[in-house]
Chain A
């Protein structure tokens, strides 16, 4: 008797929960209503103080305007959030999942999309603020690492590989303009260039930049074909073999990540470093971590670029709240603050042409800092290879270079 009662109660609760979770992104007023009082667990990489502070600010605004509580679950690797959702699906927890919103792109997005772990059908293009998004001119907003986004994730910011140097030590005229010139420069200046040890993502990005410049790009847009992998990546391994001979510490050790490279530039150990955020150098100067003579440059032929997104897992507990959060994150106001190096310095996903005049003026008045290239000075964006390449290249790097030789 008691058992039956309990079962009935559970079924009742489940149906109630299922009912409560029926969210229609097209009906925004209802979404706003449902979102009130919800708590959104935002799983986002928590390794940078300025980004954490930005998310804290967003949490305050969301609370004030929409009565949504945003909790930042600080990850050291986004793959952990994916693993959580995978585990929940395996355990049959198809509702009330612990991840509501996740900061994502590349192989993690591909993995979640492929396994059907994302809230679908596409919702991002139904967000009210989508009308400002520059999807016409920024192809990486609709295609992430060659994977069609299909509205399963909402863009948050842009990233592009840029290089930094100290103008007090180097002449701008002598800067390399592509990967080959970089190698030639490194050979002329042994010990002054390195890259973070893969699988650090800045380091892997450098490998992809070289690959994009030296390999057949059409092959890279498709999933890795094992039969041609060795041949397709031979230019990269030849390049690295040559580079390591003249790299910092003769390639026997590598910086662990971008901040380590930044420190090495400040110490004068490295002459050229690179980051995936064009505003990094300016904010480092403002923090006294780099001398104010540091400047940015880029490869005129194009550098690796991508977009980072927020996505909602299929079993999220607070879908309405997550939608409201995603929409707020692409509001002109939130994007202006994000592009300001005083807060974060992450380039916007919005189109200046689509904005209202006062929002456009707000963007124009941002002081990007002395070391930041203006958007029009940035090189053309090179699209990311298919996510499977990153994985295979990292494995291959590990296989070839883990041991001293």
Chain B
């Protein structure tokens, strides 16, 4: 009975906020906002939007960021998997990259910024000996007008995501057999993979790729940290309008959110074109019989991109850790002149409240999402119907619709309901984003469960509840805890929904860290980035060690 409610509830929780949120965005853009006496249809706000200075440049930046980020991350993953799937190096790199998945985008962006800035760690390491720089060079690297460092910051975070998605799809293609076949036909390793296995894999990871495009084309936190500041990308400008105390700016913000929707749509359409192009090119290559058997360089490039992306983030995080303990640290010193706990001590009182909110919102949304995911899966299992393509798209909806476009409208509704900046509203907003990840991460292990255990228990006369709690759940402890860790990590990293729904009164470590980003104070950012990194890691630590502890006497349950 309860599990029949699962899918319905999930659909309501996912589509409800999005549908209402989109309505709350589109209507004000067209002039309807009863709270401000807006009752007439008008295109004036859209006209206002296009008379904002350089608005098309902002839109263009967002468009390019979406497509380029997805292209580069996918290329790196594809080349790496093509070159190394099944080798020992593959496993090592996978272990190197995977922890980055749980790192919030903002923390990765900080790491990059403190590494590549003119006064950053890289410049410090080689100065003044190799560069002659006694002082940081006057170079515009971070916040560059073309958004290159912003895209780099996005790529290093999307590579682990796409890699994980690809890994999940890999077992479903006969990788070894295809490789043997293509190799026997004289194809190079990369070409053989791209022509033989990739089409089947790509079909599986298409939605995640779309999610990357949607995210990168509408990202706010990374854009605020690394992106251009004069002519900021569209979403970052939108957020300043949304936060403007002048309420009439909400019309402009809504119109901007509508434009954001169009930009993301355009980026996706452009990608569909690229897909066609890619297909045509590979077909042509296949027909011409090009073998590409000299591909050592390509394979090396794939490996290099993977290692580089992970290395950058780890080096940046180490730099931030140093900053958080630094006394005075002047350029070009590679190490601070003195170490002190002062920053940590001083930040402690002010970090407690955001920390508490982060934990509460994360744990509650994860708990609800876990229960719903389990109910959905139980329902699917009982009816024997797996979700089709439509249902999956529905699940991906919160990841495909730009966050600004619907969270802003959702915020308006929450204001009407008088629940803005309350914990339940925040949990609901987080749930929309936690839910898809929770379901997706539990799906495979759930179906991998050997149902004969269930049948045995049933044949011993145990009821459903008993079977679930005494057999299924214990066996699935590891999978369920991993799902919870994934969900919690997603919640910790959420920036925009927290800013808009928390309305500045409920803050998490991520929103606080991004708010402090503008000050460029490495010490304070270091402390916040540490917490951003630590919280998701603690989740995964629980998911690893608790099952190990529980199952220490069960040999069959150990990994």
Chain A interface residues (CB < 8 Å from chain B): 49, 52, 76-77, 79-80, 82-83, 87, 190-191, 197, 248-250, 252-257, 259-260, 263-264, 266-269, 287-291, 398-399, 401-404
Contact = CB atoms under 8 A, between A and B. Distances in A.
Q: Nearest 6 CB-CB pairs, A to B? A: A403-B54, A259-B519, A191-B138, A256-B518, A267-B119, A79-B245
Interface of B: 53-54, 57, 118-119, 134-136, 138-140, 143-145, 228-231, 245-247, 326-331, 338, 340, 342, 346, 350, 504, 515, 518-523
Contacts of B135: 268-269
Nearest to B52: A402
A21 B528 CA distance: 44
Contacts of A264: 119, 520
B138 A249 contact: yes
A136 to B, nearest CB: 35
Contact of B330 (A52, A197, A249, A267): A267
B240 to A, nearest CB: 10
B500 to A, nearest CB: 14
A269 B340 contact: no
B520 A263 contact: yes
A274 to B, nearest CB: 16
A122 B326 CA distance: 49
A287 B329 CA distance: 12
Nearest to B145: A404
A83 B246 contact: yes
Nearest to A255: B520
Nearest to B146: A404
Contacts of A266: 328-330
Contacts of A252: 140, 145, 230
Given A269-B136, A288-B338, A288-B342, 14 more contacts: A79-B246, A80-B245, A249-B140, A252-B140, A256-B519, A259-B519, A263-B522, A264-B520, A267-B136, A268-B134, A269-B118, A287-B342, A402-B53, A404-B230
Name the residue among B57, B326, B330, B520 with the largest chain A CB count within 10 angstroms: B520
A80 B249 CA distance: 13
B53 A399 contact: yes
B229 A263 contact: no
Contact of A288 (B138, B229, B328): B328
14 contacts: A49-B346, A52-B350, A76-B515, A87-B247, A197-B229, A252-B140, A253-B145, A253-B228, A260-B520, A263-B519, A268-B331, A269-B118, A269-B136, A289-B523
Contacts of B139: 249
B245 A83 contact: yes
A197 B230 contact: yes
B53 A398 contact: yes
A82 B57 CA distance: 33
B509 to A, nearest CB: 16
B519 A267 contact: no
A344 B90 CA distance: 55
Contact of A263 (B54, B118, B246, B521): B521
B242 to A, nearest CB: 13
B138 A190 contact: yes
B247 A401 contact: no
A349 B118 CA distance: 42
A257 B224 CA distance: 14
Contacts of B118: 269
Contact of A253 (B136, B230, B326): B230
Contacts of B144: 253
A190 B135 CA distance: 13
A402 B54 contact: yes
A289 B229 contact: no
A355 to B, nearest CB: 32
A208 to B, nearest CB: 21
Contacts of B515: 76
Given A49-B350, A83-B246, A256-B519, A269 B138 contact: yes
A49 B329 CA distance: 21
B140 A403 contact: no
Name the residue among A256, A257, A290 with the largest chain B CB count within 10 angstroms: A256
B504 A76 contact: yes
Contacts of A190: 138
Name the residue among A264, A289, A291 with the largest chain B CB count within 10 angstroms: A289
A87 B247 CA distance: 9
B520 A402 contact: no
B26 to A, nearest CB: 24
B520 A404 contact: no
A270 to B, nearest CB: 10
B229 A256 contact: yes
B463 to A, nearest CB: 51
Contacts of B523: 289
A203 to B, nearest CB: 12
Nearest to A73: B505
A290 B523 CA distance: 13
Name the residue among A190, A250, A264, A288 with the largest chain B CB count within 10 angstroms: A288
A260 B245 contact: no
A205 to B, nearest CB: 17
Given A252-B145, A256-B520, A268-B330, A82 B245 contact: yes
A403 B330 contact: no
A49 B136 CA distance: 29
B247 A403 contact: no
B229 A253 contact: yes
Nearest to B244: A79
Name the residue among A76, A264, A404 with the largest chain B CB count within 10 angstroms: A404
Given A83-B247, A267-B330, A268-B119, A248 B342 contact: no
Contacts of A79: 245-246
A140 B300 CA distance: 67
Nearest to B120: A267
A290 B328 CA distance: 7
B136 A289 contact: no
B520 A259 contact: yes
Contacts of B522: 263
Nearest to B523: A289
B328 A291 contact: yes
A49 B145 CA distance: 32
A79 B249 CA distance: 13
Nearest to A79: B245
Contacts of A52: 350
A251 B246 CA distance: 29
Name the residue among A49, A80, A249, A399 with the largest chain B CB count within 10 angstroms: A249
Given A254-B230, A268-B331, A269-B136, A289 B338 contact: no
Contact of A403 (B53, B326, B346): B53
Given A256-B229, A288-B338, A402-B54, A267 B246 contact: no
A322 B329 CA distance: 43
A68 B81 CA distance: 66
A253 B57 CA distance: 16
Name the residue among A80, A87, A257, A266 with the largest chain B CB count within 10 angstroms: A266
Nearest to A400: B53
A288 B143 CA distance: 26
Nearest to A82: B245
Contacts of B518: 256-257, 259-260
A292 to B, nearest CB: 8
A211 to B, nearest CB: 21
B138 A404 contact: no
A95 to B, nearest CB: 20
B330 A291 contact: yes
Given A83-B246, A249-B140, A398-B53, A404 B519 contact: no
B94 to A, nearest CB: 37
Contacts of B328: 266, 288-291
Nearest to A86: B247
Contacts of A82: 245
B370 to A, nearest CB: 34
A350 to B, nearest CB: 29
A343 to B, nearest CB: 13
A267 B327 CA distance: 13
A269 B330 CA distance: 11
A59 to B, nearest CB: 14
